[in-house]
């Protein structure tokens, strides 16, 4: 691994990236500062330039390079010039999490760790378990005591050390960090620096796929806030490398049922407060006290972004409408469409703009959402088939 810095954009502190540092002493998250520099002139955005790792440190399952697809129906409906879906369900474990996991695994290997871990029940758990398997590293996955079998099995299949832990979830998170440091396990929880650094590749790909023309808006379903921060950093890196000529604006999309960032944004606050009794079908974005929340607020204001919520009904409708265009995303990943609609209604996004919706994960990850839809089919006998099909 080459020499690089982790910087706190809040207090300005710098840390050596070749150490297992996961958070600033001031409590705010850290961002990778790395200007590989050379190669930018050739309009290259590959990891050799934008990450401080040696090629041998990477373990890839083929993450990234996901499709970016224009949906004319959405553009027409919303009065926009172009609406594109960045389909992150095309990743190895069907969510964008693989991008950050791959970067964290490279970092863990560079620092000599042989064990990795995470606290999660959803996409993160599956991603870390899969990359642990691929890298030949033990993956320690900690999940809440009430997690049901339907969620355990798709993680267990990769062969990690999977521990279902009784007790308070916030304490589990803190314990994982303490025990990780003590036992030498690289815990890649929600918004650790290299997870965020991995999400920059979403911005790199959007720029490349659009011929280095930056969209007006990028709409990101937001929970901890790491993915949105990574995408913002990616567009900053492109701009400072001279590959693009401006920043997009960002729409932080949350479910109204768990919208701590929207609440603080609307109140003009600089710091988020814990959201009381969160509840939403978009369970992948149900973090009531996002660790990157303060940072996201600052970045939104810096680039003229907004934070908006979507109602449960709007999320279900968006999931249906995405599917009717051929995109089956889990509820959280359809929140961007719902929020873009609200943003258009409120006049926050101008007519004729271009927008990219980040569809963060696959609909097959959360089949319980089928119950929110009135899905129909018909039964018939073989001899009735011709009649039914006429």
Ligand X SMILES: *Cc1c(COP(=O)(O)O)cnc(C)c1O
Contact residues toward ligand X (CB under 6 A) are: 95, 97, 122-123, 190, 221-228, 284-285, 330, 332-333, 360-361
Both tokens of 253, joined, read 């999309």
Nearer to ligand X, 160 or 361 (CB): 361
Q: State how far the Cα of 139 lies from the Cα of 148, in Å rounded to an integer.
A: 20
Number of residues that bind Zn ion (CB under 5 A): 7
Does 298 bind Zn ion (CB under 5 A)? Our answer is no
CA dihedral angle for residue 61, residue 185, residue 192, residue 244, rounded to 10 degrees: -40
- For residue 95, the partner it binds in Zn ion, ligand X, none, with Cβ less than 5 to 8 A by kind, is ligand X
Q: Which of residues 364 and 380 has its CB atom nearest to ligand X in the complex? A: 364
Q: Is 14 in the site for Zn ion (CB under 5 A)?
A: no
11, 168, 183, 368: residue in contact with Zn ion (rule CB under 5 A): 11
Of the listed pieces 18-26, 241-249, 305-313, 319-327, which binds Zn ion according to CB under 5 A?
18-26
284 contact, one of Zn ion, ligand X, none, CB 5-8 Å limit per kind:
ligand X
Nearest to 333 by CA among 80, 48, 87: 87
Phi, psi of 358 (to 5 degrees): -90, 110
Among ligand X, Zn ion, none, partner that 360 touches (CB below 5 to 8 angstroms by kind): ligand X
Note whether 26 binds Zn ion by CB under 5 A: yes
The site partner of 24 among Zn ion, ligand X, none (C-beta below 5 to 8 Å per kind) is Zn ion
Strand partners, 32: 6
- Token pair of 109 as six digits: 């290997």
The minimum distance between CB 32 and Zn ion, in angstroms, equals 15
- 24 touching Zn ion, by CB under 5 A: yes
Contact 58, 47 (CB under 8 A): yes
Residues 346, 217: Cα–Cα separation, whole Å? 15
Residue 362 touches which member of Zn ion, ligand X, none, C-beta under 5-8 Å by kind: none
Question: Pairing state of beta strands 82-87 and 68-70?
Answer: antiparallel
Distance CA 299, CA 358 (A): 18
Task: Identify the burial level of 297 via C-beta atoms within 10 angstroms of its C-beta, where 0-12 means exposed, 13-18 middle and 19 or more buried.
Answer: buried
Q: Which residues bind Zn ion (CB under 5 A)?
A: 8, 10-11, 13, 24, 26, 28
């Amino acid at each position: 691994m080459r020499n690089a810095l982790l910087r706190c954009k809040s207090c300005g502190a710098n840390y050596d990236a070749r150490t297992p540092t996961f958070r600033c002493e001031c409590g705010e998250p850290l961002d990778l500062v790395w200007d590989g520099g050379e190669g930018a002139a050739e309009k290259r955005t590959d990891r050799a330039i934008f990450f401080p790792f040696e090629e041998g440190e990477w373990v890839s399952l083929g993450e990234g390079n996901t499709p970016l697809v224009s949906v004319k129906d959405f553009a027409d409906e919303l009065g926009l010039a172009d609406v594109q879906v960045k389909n992150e369900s095309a990743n190895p474990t069907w969510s964008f999490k693989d991008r950050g996991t791959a970067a964290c695994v490279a970092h863990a290997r560079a620092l000599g760790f042989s064990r990795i871990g995470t606290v999660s029940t959803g996409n993160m758990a599956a991603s870390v378990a899969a990359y642990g398997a691929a890298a030949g590293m033990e993956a320690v996955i900690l999940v809440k005591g009430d997690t049901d079998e339907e969620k355990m099995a798709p993680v267990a299949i990769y062969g990690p050390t999977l521990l279902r832990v009784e007790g308070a979830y916030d304490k589990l998170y803190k314990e994982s960090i303490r025990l990780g440091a003590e036992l030498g396990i690289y815990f890649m929880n929600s918004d650790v620096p290299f997870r965020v650094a991995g999400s920059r590749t979403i911005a790199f790909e959007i720029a490349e796929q659009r011929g280095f023309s930056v969209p007006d808006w990028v709409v990101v379903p937001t929970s901890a806030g790491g993915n949105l921060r990574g995408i913002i950093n990616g567009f900053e890196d492109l701009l400072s490398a001279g590959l693009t000529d401006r920043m997009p604006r960002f729409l932080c999309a949350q479910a109204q049922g768990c919208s701590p960032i929207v609440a603080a944004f609307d109140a003009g606050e600089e710091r988020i407060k814990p959201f009381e009794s969160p509840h939403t079908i978009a369970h992948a974005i149900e973090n009531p006290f996002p660790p990157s929340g303060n940072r996201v607020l600052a970045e939104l204001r810096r680039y003229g972004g907004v934070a908006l919520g979507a109602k449960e009904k709007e999320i279900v409708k968006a999931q249906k409408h995405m599917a009717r265009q051929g995109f089956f995303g889990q509820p959280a990943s359809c929140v961007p469409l719902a929020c873009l609609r609200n943003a258009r209604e409120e006049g926050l996004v101008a007519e004729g703009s271009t927008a990219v919706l980040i569809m963060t994960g696959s609909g097959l990850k959360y089949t319980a959402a089928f119950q929110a839809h009135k899905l129909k089919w018909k039964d018939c006998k073989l001899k009735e088939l011709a009649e039914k099909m006429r």
